[in-house]
Structure 1
Amino acid sequence: MSESLLRETEAYLHEQIPLTRAMGVTLESWDGTRLVLQAPLEPNHNHLGTAFGGSLSALATLAGYSLVWLMLGDREAHVVVRDSHIRYRHPVRGPLRAVCSRPDDETMQAFRQQFAESGRARLTLQVVIEHDGKACMEFEGTFVAMR
């Protein structure tokens, strides 16, 4: 994926979802299988100096949202989170880093076909917030794309 598409997507997030700007969210990388978003700890910490749970939740949701938006390739589509489940495992004491992996080809094909046929499709994604080589938070969310 080109650097320009990453920056375009980041600018879209900052424009459409102002919280992303306040959090300092950046799209670190996208290789077609893994999307990585990051945010600095400074604007996202709690009273203990670790990452605020709400910031972790927001970053994980944004990672899933962004992956759907990138995979769909339809800039007129709307993407929303339908439901999610989060498990906090360890505190994050440094930069926040969310990793969202693309589903397998069969799942993506079915998602795209459903969207093409009905203008609405949903996709369940897994996101992990990593720090110091540990999975600190696990997120599973179902996202809906619609025209």
Structure 2
Amino acid sequence: MMDTAALQTYLHQQIPLSAAMQVTVHAANPQAVTLAAPLAPNINHKHTVFGGSASALAILSAWSVIHLRLLAEGLPGEIVIQSNEIAYDKPIRGTFEATGTLADAAWPIFRKTLERRGLARIEASARLTCDGEPVGSLTGRFVAFLRTAE
């Protein structure tokens, strides 16, 4: 199982945008992942968080929870995002967080399909907050592929 420091290192190495955004991992387990990023490297011309940064953090948190769940269950997989929808409810004026989660009811079907076909799709969501207040949300559809032995 990957701890918060290991996940943060992994994200920064494998997804360089996360390092540029100064993403930190606040909490990580196979049920939920909370990531945070400061305003300064993610600022726009209105002195609020750039929408692309908010979207990226939300996608990263949702992606990370799937990644950790696959690792916890011993499934060597690759994950990509297929589609997403994001709502920006309020301007983000400071350090912001995204907490990614999965619907537990969807996991058994996803896992069975992944093991049988080597490919499966699952929906994950992320809640964006700033100073503990909700500021947006994301729903994403992700595709996982089982890695084959090389």
Shared fold per TM-score greater than 0.5:
yes
- Cα deviation digits, residues 46-72 of structure 1 (max 9, x gap): 112111101001101111111111111
Matched residue type, 1:97 = E
Q: In structure 1, what is the Cα distance between the partners aligned to 2:26 and 2:111?
A: 25
Deviates more, 1:128-137 or 1:20-29: 128-137
Runs of 5+ in structure 1 lacking a partner? Answer: none
Matched with 2:106 is 107
Give 5+ residue unaligned stretches, structure 2.
Answer: none
Aligned residue for 2:118?
A: 119
Q: Report the CA distance between 1:26 and its aligned residue.
A: 1.2
Contact 1:100-1:125 at 8 Å conserved across structures: yes
TM-score, structure 2 as length reference: 0.88
Cross-structure match for 2:142: 143
Residues of 2 paired with 1:70 and 1:55: CA distance?
22
Q: 1:32, 1:102 within 8 Å by CA — same for their partners in 2? A: no
Map 1:62-101 to 2 at 5 A: 62-73=60-71, 76-101=76-101
Which residue among 16, 37, 40 is the counterpart of 1:39? 37
Distance 2:41 2:65 in 1: 24
Quote how far apart the aligned CAs of 1:34 are: 2.3
Q: Distance in 2 between matches of 1:70 and 1:130?
A: 22
Query: How far is the alpha carbon of 1:14 from its aligned partner?
Result: 0.8
Q: Which residue of 2 aligns with 1:20?
A: 18
Paired residue total: 144
3-state secondary structure, aligned to 1:85: strand
The Cα of 1:133 is off from its aligned counterpart by 3.4
TM-score, normalised via structure 1 length: 0.90
For the aligned residue pairs, the C-alpha RMSD in angstroms reads 1.7
Q: Structure 1 residue runs of 4+, over 6 Å off?
A: none
After superposition, the Cα gap between the structure-2 partners of 1:7 and 1:75, relative to the gap in structure 1 and judged at 3 Å, is: farther
Opposite residue 45 of structure 1, the aligned amino acid is: I
